[in-house]
Amino acid sequence: MYLEGKAEPVVYLISDSVGETAEVVAKAVASQYNFPVQIRREPYLKDPVRLQKILEEAAESNSLIAYTLVQPELRQAIREKARQYNIPIIDIMGPMLEGFSKIMPVKPRLEPGLMRRMDGDYFNRIIAVEFAVKYDDGKDPRGMLLADVVLVGVSRTSKTPLSMYLAHKRVKTANMPLIPEVEPAREIYAVPKEKIIGLTIAPELLQKIRQERLSSLGLKNGSNYASLERILEELDYAQKFMRSVGCRVFDVSNKAVEEVAGKILKLLKELDRT
């Protein structure tokens, strides 16, 4: 028989964000008891009037209130109201905040939902990285229609490293190589020119980069791939293509990936404001 014939217990989970943390803790504890319990989540609480209604409802049943509130004013209000209604309460986040305050050199931000926002950033980054891998080097031209930005340029102009760097900034990036003998995928012509970034490089530097690439693969430097004549032909073709689509062009000569990516991110931010 249940204590004093009381009704089925109810646990109210009050949070100024989603309330997932409180729910995980409450369910973990409830699993230790061989007795049914109702768990009611009350997310995004910021209004004292709503808090009052929840406490009045809780006072009419065999209830416990657990809360994850970062604002000291709300935590104080719930303590006072719960004492008034004689409702047991558990502050899940408060003691941890107080503990951290003893070792941290800065004050807490006290912003609800920060962890969820950080989780969102993480998953968006993963999505962008997977996107960059899937649509690297023109493997699937359909990706260009879904991308935040499309990089085009001849071989060894840092298209892939830039795509991955931008992906870690949560920018979905596709890239397409420009080869004189290969007709560009028709999808590129459906991409707004503002989303296309052309990459170019000094011919002599590109020749050196390609020669080093061939050497690392154990191939001879005499290959047409690294000949200056071929490189000039490719760069001329790429320049004509970039002019035809009217895209912005960045010179990557002797520039770090981070530097070029910074310019692209700045451009994307400017476009967002227009």
For residue range 67-98, what is the model confidence (pLDDT) as tens digits? 888 778 888 888 998 999 999 998 887 777 77
Claim to verify: residue 133 and residue 81 sit in the same structural domain: no
Claim to verify: residue 98 and residue 135 sit in the same structural domain: no
H helices present in the chain, as ranges: 20-30, 48-59, 72-85, 94-101, 114-134, 159-167, 203-216, 228-245, 257-273
Least confident range of 58-67, 113-122, 195-204: 113-122
Claim to verify: residue 98 and residue 140 sit in the same structural domain: no
Residue 158 backbone phi and psi in degrees, to 5: 70, 25
Query: Cβ atoms within 10 A of the Cβ of 245, count?
Result: 16
Give the pTM: 0.60
* Cβ pair 228, 182 in contact under 8 A: no
The pLDDT, as a whole number, for residue 6 is 55
The pLDDT, as a whole number, for residue 3 is 42
Domain with 52 in it: 3-112
Domain boundary among 61, 89, 112: 112
Rounded Cα gap, residues 160 and 137, in angstroms: 7
Claim to verify: residue 79 and residue 140 sit in the same structural domain: no
Query: Cβ atoms within 10 A of the Cβ of 25, count?
Result: 15
* Cβ pair 135, 174 in contact under 8 A: yes
Rounded Cα gap, residues 59 and 191, in angstroms: 60
The pLDDT, as a whole number, for residue 4 is 47
Q: Return the percentage of the chain with pLDDT > 70, whole number.
A: 91
Contacts of 186 (CB under 8 A, 6+ apart): 141
Claim to verify: residue 132 and residue 15 sit in the same structural domain: no
By the 10 Å C-beta count (0-12 exposed, 13-18 middle, 19+ buried), 201 is classed as: buried
Query: Which single residue is written with the structure tokens 């002599």?
Result: 204
Average pLDDT of span 130-147: 95
Specify the 3-state DSSP secondary structure of 174.
Answer: strand
The pLDDT, as a whole number, for residue 114 is 52
pLDDT category, 116, cuts 50, 70, 90? low
187-204 confidence digits (pLDDT tens) = 999 999 999 999 999 999
Is the backbone of residue 137 left (phi > 0), alpha (psi -120 to 50) or beta? left
Higher pLDDT, 73 or 113: 73
Rounded Cα gap, residues 207 and 138, in angstroms: 23
Claim to verify: residue 34 and residue 107 sit in the same structural domain: yes
Average pLDDT of span 31-44: 89
Claim to verify: residue 70 and residue 201 sit in the same structural domain: no
